[in-house]
Structure 1
Amino acid sequence: MIVVLSAITVCLVILNGWQYLSRRKLNLSLHEISDKLTDILEKESSEKVFLQTDQKHIQFFLIQINRLLDYNQKVIADYARTKDSLRKMLSNMSHDLKTPLTVVLGYTEKLKMDQSLVGKERHEVVSNLHQKTLSVIALMNKFFDLAKIESDDYAIPLSKISINEICRKNVLGFYEWLQAKNLQVEIEIPEQPYYILGNEEALNRILNNLISNSIRYGSDGGVFGLTLREDGKNIAIDIWDKGKGISEVHQARVFDRLYTLDDARNPQFQGSGLGLSITKRLTEAMKGSIHLSSKPYEKTVFTCVLKRITY
């Protein structure tokens, strides 16, 4: 009996000792993790917490901590990008508004100061003033449209729509401009009707933006094209040209708010940097996607992919 009790006592002592050592090891690990986290937060570094341990619960705890640190870095990076985007947006917006408003002010002062303006000359000044005022209003409307589209409570009603005729109508809407630019027009719209889950008003705006951009920036290639085609279970619209295209350094950012290429500041082009951003948001609101592929003077293609309906 004494032997049994002694054995039990020894086992209990060993168990208590093992538990003490385990708790001590756990506490040391937690202290080390805590110190490393404090150091990372104070230095705002992108380091991770690494610790050699055979304790499964500590290993899992470290995995979750590092996932949280990754997420924290992503939030910080997103915030920095958003802050930089807002700064550039305000700078560009200021530039885009200041120029036409200065012209408007000039025309207004001319009408006010020069009372001798009559007839054709006065009509020309008033007409220019009216056009510049409309351009400012259009720019502001685009800005507020984008803000509305990006808001959480914005929703586009989706339904089954036939896309073939919508594509034809949008190209025909630019007939005179295409003729004026003397562009060769290559349209591929199948006779077979295609149906998508979308919104006709949004689709018209998307096509209007893409077609006008293609004519404005790609007319030096001498050709404009629109292709409607199947893309697996989806429908794709390719709007393309063979102009100077978009260099690789710009391609990833053309859909950013108020991001413009250098020549978009040229009065000949009048780019605001809002059209493609609105186009991307509207496409995504219809559960679709938009992509750019560009090889200068070979082919520049904006491809809009939308969900196909077959029933």
Structure 2
Amino acid sequence: MQQTLIDHIGQVAEDVVSLVLRGTGGPLAPWEPGAHVDLALPNWLTRQYSLCGDPADRESYRVAVRYDPLSRGGSEYVHRFLRQGRTLDVSLPRNHFPLLPAPEYLFLAGGIGITPLLPMLRAATGAGVPSTLVYAGQSLATMPFVDELRSSHGERVRIVATRQQGRPDLAALASALAPGARVYCCGPASMLAAAEEVFPADRFHAERFHPKGRVFAPNAPFEAVCARSGQTVQVTPDESLLDALSHAGHPVASGCREGVCGSCEVTVLDGEPEHRDDIGAPTGRMYPCVSRALSPRLVVDL
């Protein structure tokens, strides 16, 4: 964890605040466009937010948080109780949504999904790569960073207020896509589902707020062997591996508990995991908040 100070907090759209977090112990850890961090909130919750500032700025991080009345308490705490001058512990950046090389980019943002795409657009245009951003939201008042985008990127940015203009024509955008161009999309599930229907799968990259609905076989019991301690933990069908480890005295840091943030990653030394995450776990790793085992026994590096 890195200790930071809230240097600035301010409203940037209806129900959206931006936090500038300044490091208190020297330069903050480097990051690349698409990265996110965990914020350890004072109410004992940990939440993930995309970094939306400038990667060249090693003195501070910027995140933006939309208030969600149906959230589990994270966004409500940020909006109601966080103030300038408060210290927050912040994780090292993680990136499951990297900007890959391409001859051209199309960025599609829906609402608060603009946050990981802001630094991507800056990096792409800074490198001289032709890039377009289509940014949709219910109204201009609900869309953070519109003025910043217009002033910095001008005609590269198309702002779509859907209440007045309707939703962007994704099929038309797909038909006009240049050969080899990559599409990066972040927004609500309906936007991602529509985009997946029309853009080439091998050049379409998405980051989700919540996991994609999928069906798995019924949960089966298995045992997890903690290699460093030698303890064997029984995981029942109605319990996640994450919770079973915690109850056995091996707590693993976690955030979303939905398989989309990656904060609970553990190393698998033996056995076959059943990956149920939306990230795509690297070989030899798994996310125990949602993933389970296809083999009767897993050995994890704990």
When normalised by structure 2's length, the TM-score is 0.19
> Looking at CA atoms only, which structure, 1 or 2, has the larger radius of gyration?
1
Q: Which has the higher strand share?
A: 2
When normalised by structure 1's length, the TM-score is 0.19
